[in-house]
């Protein structure tokens, strides 16, 4: 377990330059950058690390490029994950295999724990096991007040807050201040890890089966484990269970299944498509999934989160020195520049995936015309093709 670096009483008495709420990739990368910039930084998470997280576990080549720029690529590669080079997509018996620019498959348990350790090593303090709620009063003040713990009795002040709480539905910031719009028809995420699985699943390939009720991605990660992550229709999961729904999808795609592979335990997420019409508020910047998220089919969420975590640093630094409401607008514009095009692609995929016949047609075309598949891969992995 990763210990906190500060006790609650000291954290409470400190006036922080930046408190980062949420220690996923977005929050950790932001904390690393802020601490390197010399800000008095505190990274807080409601859970203890290492912890599991529903995710395909695939860092795409863009995410790896950003980690490299941060000086973290070697440490990530030493986690024992696998280089990903292929994407095998199936809808019933129709299959296509796409070559990918090299990414990395690694469990979120290992990756996020490493990033927390790097944040600490770069000078950020870390406080685990503390759910945070941001006080909504006094929006003109020079600091934001944060309540910690389940009863909120511990309170601390920070000049700025980075909201990196992912898809969490627990209220961290008042809905009136930063509302969240969730698509009512959006799928939910479900995930598990299998230690016993058929040899069909080789390291270095993402196996993706698409069905009527959603899609299931399987990837080998470190420690002879198979990471299973799915985006599923909520009514189907409610009427059955995630293991059964995933089994149906995998059977239809004729992917190998062993009896114990889907036994779980399963973890779930909230609705997978959500958006904050406003991504900043008085002295608060939302990053990663907390700012916006679209279904995970293209496996880019961590790349977006890491990019956001890097991009927010200069704005926070300026906000600490001299807060101006113009920074909120600037953050919205920055995020839009980084992500608007990628989000458009992702939304298109999400729509196509609702129509199995369209998916089959797309797979036929991709198999028959490899340049088409390459063009799609290019559009997602922008950095690798610059
Ligand atoms: C099924 C599925 C498959 C996916 N596959 C991939 C993939 O292969 N590749 C990829 O790049 N992306 C994938 N993603 C997306 C990826 O998981 C996310 O985009 C990424 O985790 C976002 O990072 P984040 O830092 O914004 O949030 P998270 O990683 O969700 O981290 C948020 C953190 O905030 C903490 N937190 C929440 N609320 C509070 C609070 N109030 N107080 C304190 N702490 C709080 C949580 O405990 C958590 O640790 C997938 C997602 C799903 C659902």
Residues 272, 199: Cα–Cα separation, whole Å: 31
Q: Answer yes or no: is the C-beta of 296 below 6 A from any ligand 1 atom.
A: yes
Q: For residue 105, list its beta bridge partners.
A: 58, 82
CA distances from 93 to 47, 89, 361 (A): 41, 10, 12
CA 317 to chain centre: 24
Please tell me the predicted confidence (pLDDT) of residue 138: 81
Please tell me the predicted confidence (pLDDT) of residue 385: 53
Nearest CA-CA partner of 225 in 108, 318, 382, 385: 108
Please tell me the predicted confidence (pLDDT) of residue 384: 56
Same fold, 8-56+109-183+273-347 and 82-104+184-271+355-385: no
Q: Answer yes or no: is the C-beta of 45 below 6 A from any ligand 1 atom.
A: yes
| Alpha carbon nearest to ligand 1 atom 17, residue | 55
Q: What are the φ/ψ torsions at residue 22 (nearest 5 degrees)?
A: 110, 120
Pairing of strands 15-21, 41-44: parallel
Does the domain spanning 82-104+184-271+355-385 belong to CATH 1.10.8?
A: no
Following DSSP, what letter does each residue of 119-165 receive, concatenated? HHHTT-EEE-S--EEE--S-TTSSSEEEEESTT--EEEEEEEEEE--
Q: Answer yes or no: is the C-beta of 168 below 6 A from any ligand 1 atom.
A: yes
CA of 289 to the centre of ligand 1 (A): 6
Residues 124, 109: Cα–Cα separation, whole Å: 20
Question: Which pair of structure tokens corresponds to residue 380?
Answer: 């997602």
Atom of ligand 1 nearest to the CA of 47: 47
Look at residue 53 and give its three-state secondary structure: coil
Q: For residue 18, list its beta bridge partners.
A: 41, 160
Atom of ligand 1 nearest to the CA of 229: 1
CATH code for the structural domain at 8-56+109-183+273-347? 3.50.50.60
CA of 365 to the centre of ligand 1 (A): 33
Please tell me the predicted confidence (pLDDT) of residue 381: 63
Burial class (CB in 10 A: 0-12, 13-18, 19+), 121: exposed
Ligand 1 test: best mutation among 2, 47, 289, 292, most atoms within 8 Å of CB? 289
Block means of pLDDT (10 residues each) for the chain, 386 residues, are 96 97 98 98 98 96 96 97 94 89 95 98 98 90 93 92 92 91 86 97 96 95 97 95 96 94 94 88 96 81 96 98 97 92 80 81 78 71 57
Nearest CA-CA partner of 55 in 112, 103, 1, 100: 112
Nearest CA-CA partner of 139 in 22, 315, 281: 281
To which H or E segment does residue 302 belong? helix 301-321
Q: Which residues contact 355 (CB under 8 A, 6 or more apart)?
A: none
| Alpha carbon nearest to ligand 1 atom 38, residue | 165
CA of 305 to the centre of ligand 1 (A): 8
Residues 352, 172: Cα–Cα separation, whole Å: 33
Beta strands in the chain (DSSP E): 15-21, 41-44, 58-59, 82-91, 94-105, 125-127, 132-134, 144-148, 154-163, 181-182, 188-194, 205-211, 214-221, 225-232, 267-271, 274-275, 280-281, 284-286, 292-293
Domain ranges of the chain: 8-56+109-183+273-347, 82-104+184-271+355-385
Nearest CA-CA partner of 162 in 272, 17, 53, 303: 17
| Alpha carbon nearest to ligand 1 atom 18, residue | 301
Atom of ligand 1 nearest to the CA of 190: 1
Residues 268, 141: Cα–Cα separation, whole Å: 38
Q: Answer yes or no: is the C-beta of 308 below 6 A from any ligand 1 atom.
A: no
- How many CB atoms sit inside 10 A of residue 330's CB? 17
Burial class (CB in 10 A: 0-12, 13-18, 19+), 50: middle
């Amino acid at each position: 377990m990763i210990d906190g670096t500060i006790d609650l009483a000291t954290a409470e008495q400190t006036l922080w330059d930046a408190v980062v709420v949420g220690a996923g990739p977005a929050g950790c990368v932001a904390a690393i950058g802020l601490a390197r910039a010399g800000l008095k930084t505190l990274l807080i998470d409601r859970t203890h690390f290492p912890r599991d997280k529903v995710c395909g576990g695939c860092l795409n080549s863009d995410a790896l490029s950003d980690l490299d720029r941060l000086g973290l690529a070697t440490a990530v590669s030493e986690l024992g994950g696998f280089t990903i080079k292929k994407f095998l997509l199936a809808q019933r018996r129709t299959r296509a295999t796409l070559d990918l620019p090299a990414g990395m498959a690694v469990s979120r348990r290992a990756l996020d724990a490493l990033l927390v350790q790097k944040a600490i090593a770069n000078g950020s303090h870390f406080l685990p096991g503390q759910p945070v709620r941001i006080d909504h009063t006094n929006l003109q003040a020079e600091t934001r007040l944060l309540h910690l713990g389940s009863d909120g009795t511990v309170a601390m002040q920070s000049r700025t807050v980075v909201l990196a709480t992912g898809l969490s539905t627990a209220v961290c910031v008042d809905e009136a201040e930063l509302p969240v719009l969730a698509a009512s028809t959006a799928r939910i995420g479900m995930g598990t890890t299998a230690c016993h699985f058929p040899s069909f699943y080789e390291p270095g390939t993402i196996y993706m089966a698409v069905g009527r009720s959603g899609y299931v991605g399987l990837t080998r990660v470190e420690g002879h484990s198979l990471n299973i992550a799915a985006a599923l229709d909520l009514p189907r999961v409610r009427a059955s269970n995630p293991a059964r729904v995933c089994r149906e999808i995998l059977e239809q795609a004729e992917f190998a299944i062993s009896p114990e592979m889907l036994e779980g335990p399963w973890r779930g997420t909230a609705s997978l498509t959500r958006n904050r019409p406003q991504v900043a508020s008085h002295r608060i910047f939302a990053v990663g999934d907390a700012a916006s998220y679209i279904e995970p089919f293209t496996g880019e969420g961590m790349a977006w989160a890491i990019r956001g975590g890097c991009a927010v640093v200069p704005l926070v630094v300026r906000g600490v020195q001299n807060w101006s409401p113009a920074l909120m607008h600037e953050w919205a514009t920055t995020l839009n520049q980084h992500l608007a095009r990628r989000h458009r692609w992702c939304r298109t995929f999400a729509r196509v995936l609702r129509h199995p016949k369209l998916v089959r047609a797309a797979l036929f075309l991709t198999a028959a015309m490899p340049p088409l598949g390459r063009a799609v891969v290019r559009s997602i992995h922008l950095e690798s093709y610059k």
